[in-house]
Chains A and B, each alone.
Chain A
Amino acid sequence: MNCLSDDILNNYIDNERGIAELNFIEEHLKTCTVCKNKLNNLQAVHLSLQKIEEYSPSEEFTAVFMRKIGKSTINRKNQERFFAFVLSTIIIVFILIVAYLIWAFGDTTASEPKISIDFMGILTLYYNALFGWVKELLVKQNFAFMGSVFSLIILASGYYFYETRKAYKKL
Chain B
Amino acid sequence: MINLTDNEIIDSVKKGNTADFALLVDRYKNKAFPMLKRMLKNEQEAEEVLQDCFLKSFQSINGFRAESKFSTWFYKIVYNTALTKLSGQKRKTENEMASLEDEINLADILNNEVENEDLSALITRILEALPAKYSSILDMFYLCGMSCEEISGVAGITVQNVKVILHRARNSFREYVEEKNLMKEIL
A65 touches B123 (CB 8 A): no
Within 9-36 of A, Cβ neighbours of B (below 8 Å) are at 10-11, 13-14
B29 in contact (CB, < 8 A): yes
Chain A residue nearest in CB terms to B38: A52
Q: Is the CB of B33 within 8 A of A55?
A: yes
Known: A41-B183, A50-B142, A52-B139. A57 touches B47 (CB 8 A): yes
Residues of A within 8 A of B54 (CB): 65
Q: A-B contact count, CB below 8 Å?
A: 100
- Is B30 an interface residue when CB atoms closer than 8 A count as contact? yes
Q: Which chain A residues border B69 with CB–CB below 8 Å?
A: none
Contact A49 B173 (CB under 8 A): yes
Are A53 and B21 in touch, CB under 8 angstroms? no
Among A44, A45, A68, the one with the most B-chain Cβ atoms within 10 Å of its Cβ is A45
Residue of A nearest to B166 (CB): A10
How many residues of chain B have a CB within 8 Å of chain A?
A: 40
Interface presence of A7 (CB below 8 A): yes
Cα–Cα distance between A72 and B143 once the two chains are bound (Å): 31
New A-B pairs, 16, CB < 8 Å, besides A52-B127, A53-B124, A66-B19: A6-B171, A10-B171, A11-B163, A41-B177, A42-B174, A48-B123, A49-B123, A49-B138, A52-B124, A52-B139, A53-B34, A57-B33, A61-B50, A68-B51, A69-B21, A73-B18
Instruction: Spell out A's residues near B (CB within 8 Å).
Output: 6-7, 10-11, 13-14, 38, 41-42, 44-58, 61-62, 64-66, 68-70, 72-73, 171
Chain B contacts to A: CB under 8 angstroms: 18-19, 21-22, 25-26, 29-31, 33-34, 46-47, 50-51, 54-55, 58-59, 119-120, 123-124, 127, 138-139, 142-143, 163, 166-167, 170-171, 173-174, 177-178, 183, 186-187
